Amino acid sequence: MSTEAVIQTQIMDTLAGRFGLTLWRNNSGSARKGKCWVRYGLARGSADLIGIAAPMGRFVALEVKAPGEHADPHQIAWLDNVRASGGIAAVVHSVEEALSAVQPAKRPL
């Protein structure tokens, strides 16, 4: 059984350069700095992997989960917002699911 980190690495390695797609790891969360809590990442619920698909410049967001795991409500809302704005967004559990999810990046809007 693969961990999310292993699956993310496999997805990034497999999708690198395919469909003109560039992906980045989006670390998000919070950490304590002195007496304050500092949030980092794009936003609460933002996807694990984000990217841009050429040549149309479509935004891609992939929330990676281990098999049997599910996205939380904040993650679902964030992915819904990406889709509503014309981007490609999905919860994926494997390289195969990620490949399927980014197929629309090859088609014009």
Average pLDDT, the chain: 90
3-class DSSP state of 5: helix
pTM of the predicted model, to two decimals?
A: 0.88
Q: How far, in Å, CA of 15 to CA of 67, rounded?
A: 19
Q: How far, in Å, CA of 41 to CA of 13, rounded?
A: 22
Average of pLDDT values for 12-16? 88
The 10 Å CB-count burial string (b at 16+, else e) for 39-68 is: eeeeeebbbbbbbbbeeeebbbbbbbbeee
What pLDDT is recorded for position 108? Answer: 60
Residue of 108 and 17 predicted with greater confidence:
17
Cβ-based neighbours of 2, under 8 Å, separated by 6 or more = 10, 66, 67
Query: Domain 4-106 maps to which CATH number in 3.40.1350.10, 1.20.1420.30, 1.10.260.40, 3.30.365.10?
Result: 3.40.1350.10
Residue 47 confidence (pLDDT) above 90: yes
Local confidence band at 1 (pLDDT 50, 70, 90 cut-offs): low
Average of pLDDT values for 6-34? 87
